[in-house]
Structure 1
Amino acid sequence: MQLSPTLPAGTASSDAKARPYRRAVRIWLYLLAFLVIVMVALGGATRLTGSGLSITEWRPVTGSVPPLSAADWAVEFEKYRDTPQYRILNEGMGIDSFKTLYWWEWGHRLLGRLIGLAFFLPLIVFWVHGALDRRLALGLVTLGIVGAFQGAIGWVMVASGLQPGMTAVAPLKLALHLTTASIILAGLVWLAAGTREDALTPAPARIRAGAVVVMLLVLVQIGLGGLVAGSHAGLAYNTWPTMNGDLVPPLDGLFSATPWIENFVDNVTLVQFNHRLAAYCVVLAALLHALDTRLTLPGSGAARRATGVACLTLGQVALGIATLLLAVPLWAALAHQVFAMLVLTMASAHARLSGGTAATATAIHPPAVPFGFEQLAGRRA
């Protein structure tokens, strides 16, 4: 889409000139959000196939080129054979099986690099053309910084699985990696929803607060789900609504590790119990918020969005229960993880739109010069 310069604020053609900017920015942000969801899905597949430790080095630039010859593959395979995961779990694996693991992890890392390019290159173009107001620019720069750190967090996670005696990454680092990706997704959707073209009146304060609370609870639940995935707690109790006959497991089972704080990360009983409790809290909060919104603002867009969020949380709980009862098959685990991202997407959009949007927000009256170049413009004048 060609970006043309806008006329000064207040002219008759200002709105018409700015609309392509705002629409392009919104499409770009939602496309990035979609890519993040794909990234989370690919990361889940990488974890569930045991592929995450197949690449033993972090090479942000040169690592984008995969092995191109039999000699290159032999070198990479020898590095993997030196890992605890190979010696403990995969000893005797052939190079063809290793290549399958490698391609999963390489694809995950490559998509991360592509997302970085898809973020920063358009950001520069929009910035130079004055398509971003100060608040949106600040939000995007913040997300860019978080995204840059996400790559480092991913490597710290992988490195934890290469330590002696480890056959998988540390659960806490996996949860941090997943939660950071979720925060990036929520931020992209929040900013994209704020570029809506028509004005929305803010919902009452109670409704706005409820929408934000639901969104934050979903984020917390995703983090707890990362602990479940990292510790393989989903395989420990494959019954519902009880945990092998107990609605609440005995305290000596919930806090069997010392020091007690480690139970929240490494004790599969407490990790799964916390994930179940948080799921009930998310659904209860979403249902109460939807009921409150429908009674306070009947027939409104906020009521429809709140209802949609509540329905998605119910669907996610049902999918989670099915995943548990089926003993976490690959397809169910991936569906559960991806659906969590959809719940977060809807909750984030609802929370942002509940705060209202003005018709002049985000590039209806864009700055006459790109944000950050005002002093230079003043000197020219």
Structure 2
Amino acid sequence: MFAGLWARGFALECRSATALAHLSRHGSSRLLHQTLPKPTSLPSLARNRVPAWSTLSAFRKNGLWSPSRHLALRAGGSAPRRAFDPRFFSSNAAEIPASELPVLSPPAVGGWLVASAVLVFAVIVVGGVTRLTESGLSITEWRPIAGVLPPLTRAEWEEEFNKYKATPEFKLLNHSISLSEFKDIFYMEWGHRVLGRLIGVGFVVPLAYFALRKRLTATLPRHLFGMALLIGAQGALGWYMVKSGLEDSLMETPGAVPRVSQYRLAAHLGTAFVLYAGMFYTGLATIADWRYANKGWWSGLKENGSQWKEILANPHIKKFARNVKGLTALVFLTALSGAFVAGLDAGLLYNEFPLMGGRLAPPADELFDPAYAKNVDRSDLWWRNILENPTTVQFNHRCLAITTYVATTALYLSARNPVLRAALPPLTRRMATGAFAMANVQVALGICTLLYLVPISLAAMHQAGSVMLLTTMMHLLLSLRRPGAAAQAWRQAFRNAQKAATRR
């Protein structure tokens, strides 16, 4: 019976942040027993909304924790928790009573999101290799469930091969490949699709677990459920992209090359970038909030983390933060323009740098070729050349890449300015340096990919480099982020409790 009552005591909810602030005025530890449970592990820690065992240990050492009193209090009864606490939902975040602390997500949530981002990074790289090896059109059907298993018998392989033989790609390009060669490109596309399904399962199942266990900060559910929907939409968008390369109309178009639409490819890749950035940023933000609530650390500051308000209010920091946001958008746009380069095989033109045909820019009539206009009045001349002319697409990607590199360099140099450097948090300075270093690597990969006629290895590394550059920019943005409201509430509550404990 005693053990049962003790186990039930672990589930005691945090009842009052205000009580923590007035600990000294009450002059006893009973109030603390009503506000803080005794955790035994990280899972129970998150369940009871307690930021850290280390802080509670300090309370126990100071004689502010009594298991017998806690047990008696819990045995006296408390209101049972509802299956879905209204405070869990972000739409009700503003309705949290002042007498209760909000839910603070544990580090496990952040680790899960970062791991999901790593899987998205992997699927982006595998997708790039799939395109470079011209394997994307080898599977002619979209079967979300049955497609998990590849053909297992000779008859099944023959059936898949016959389906591929009916595609424009086989008729125009690969009419001489054998069954063994078909298996190579089939497995590449199959691996890409299975990895996408793995991302879906690896995201939705933990999301359901954390949601049901009420371990998500109030602002998280809406964002995470949106990501889950975007993962499902990404699968449908991928198939919509593949369908554009399977249409029989390609056989009737003179000079047509069987490949997917560059518009759909850019949409598919852009969605993957958004998913990756959202998972990565949210995961690191969750971990950062936990550290701030637990130890008071912020953006690399361990002793002065509480000064984040003064730091972010600095006019120089505000201007720097705006520049970081603008540069992040530019990095994303440059990476997205690379999807048009890939979709049109524009990297196979003008394989030299920095010149194009011996001059800084191709002739104007080549950049804006009237042949790409479809309207009689040629009103679509500009935008169709920008998005459909391989020469113009490569030129635009070069211009964006150079602009991104110059802007990254300027941001790095500004961060080294003595006045701004003294005001920037340590993590911000490190990430500014990391972004500049990654920009140099990415430029080198891009130039080498161009000069060596787009080899698969270099092209795949160049695409991965775009994600890594976006990663450093997201981390740089995170270093200038204010702690979440839940983390601030927890930090203030524990600070008040510690002050009260020292005054006793």
Relative to the length of structure 1, the TM-score reads: 0.90
In structure 2, what is the equivalent of residue 371 of structure 1? Answer: none
Give matches, 1:200-219, under 5 Å. 200=298, 201=308, 203=312, 204-219=317-332
**C-alpha distance in 1 between matches for 2:486 and 2:239:** 42
How many angstroms does 1:126 deviate by?
0.8
Percent sequence identity is: 37
Q: 1:19–1:364: 8 Å Cα contact kept in structure 2?
A: no
Q: 1:222–1:340: 8 Å Cα contact kept in structure 2?
A: yes
Asked if residue 231 in structure 1 is aligned to residue 360 in structure 2, the reply is no
**C-alpha distance in 1 between matches for 2:489 and 2:122:** 29
**C-alpha distance in 1 between matches for 2:231 and 2:387:** 25
**C-alpha distance in 2 between matches for 1:71 and 1:283:** 53
Asked if residue 182 in structure 1 is aligned to residue 306 in structure 2, the reply is no
In structure 2, what is the equivalent of residue 22 of structure 1? Answer: 106
**C-alpha distance in 2 between matches for 1:242 and 1:362:** 53
1:240 to 353, 365, 375: 353
**C-alpha distance in 2 between matches for 1:193 and 1:262:** 40
**C-alpha distance in 1 between matches for 2:489 and 2:209:** 14
Q: 1:293–1:306: 8 Å Cα contact kept in structure 2?
A: yes
Amino acid at match of 2:336: G
SS in 1 for 2:472: helix
Q: 1:132–1:363: 8 Å Cα contact kept in structure 2?
A: no
In structure 2, what is the equivalent of residue 173 of structure 1? Answer: 264
Asked if residue 76 in structure 1 is aligned to residue 76 in structure 2, the reply is no
SS in 2 for 1:217: helix
2:421 to 294, 297, 320: 297
How many angstroms does 1:362 deviate by?
9.6
In structure 2, what is the equivalent of residue 346 of structure 1? Answer: 472
What does the per-residue CA deviation read over 1:206-240, in whole Å, with 9 as the maximum and x for residues that have no partner?
A: 12212211211111111100000110100101000
**C-alpha distance in 2 between matches for 1:252 and 1:350:** 41
Give matches, 1:258-297, under 5 Å. 258=373, 259-260=380-381, 261-295=383-417, 296-297=420-421
In structure 1, what is the equivalent of residue 241 of structure 2? Answer: 157
In structure 1, what is the equivalent of residue 13 of structure 2? Answer: 7
Unaligned 5+ residue runs, structure 2? Answer: 1-9, 18-34, 38-49, 54-101, 251-256, 299-307, 374-379, 492-504
Give matches, 1:70-109, under 5 Å. 70-109=154-193
What does the per-residue CA deviation read over 1:265-317, in whole Å, with 9 as the maximum and x for residues that have no partner?
A: 22111100110111111112222222223331337321221121122112101
Q: 1:52–1:105: 8 Å Cα contact kept in structure 2?
A: yes
SS in 2 for 1:52: coil
Change (3 A) 1:65 1:151: same
In structure 1, what is the equivalent of residue 71 of structure 2? Answer: none
The alignment covers a number of residue pairs equal to: 362
**C-alpha distance in 1 between matches for 2:428 and 2:365:** 45
| 250-259 or 7-16, which deviates more | 7-16
Relative to the length of structure 2, the TM-score reads: 0.68
SS in 1 for 2:157: helix
Asked if residue 62 in structure 1 is aligned to residue 146 in structure 2, the reply is yes
What is the root-mean-square deviation of aligned Cα atoms in Å?
2.2
Amino acid at match of 2:443: V
Q: 1:133–1:363: 8 Å Cα contact kept in structure 2?
A: no
In structure 2, what is the equivalent of residue 378 of structure 1? Answer: none
Give matches, 1:327-342, under 5 Å. 327-342=453-468
SS in 1 for 2:106: helix
What does the per-residue CA deviation read over 1:233-279, in whole Å, with 9 as the maximum and x for residues that have no partner?
A: 00101000101211122111111121412212221111001101111
SS in 1 for 2:141: coil
Amino acid at match of 2:478: R
| 342-351 or 219-228, which deviates more | 342-351
**C-alpha distance in 2 between matches for 1:45 and 1:23:** 33
**Runs of 4+ with >4 A deviation:** 17-21, 362-365
**C-alpha distance in 2 between matches for 1:292 and 1:334:** 32
Amino acid at match of 2:471: T
Change (3 A) 1:79 1:362: farther
What does the per-residue CA deviation read over 1:114-147, in whole Å, with 9 as the maximum and x for residues that have no partner?
A: 0000000000111111111121222211211222
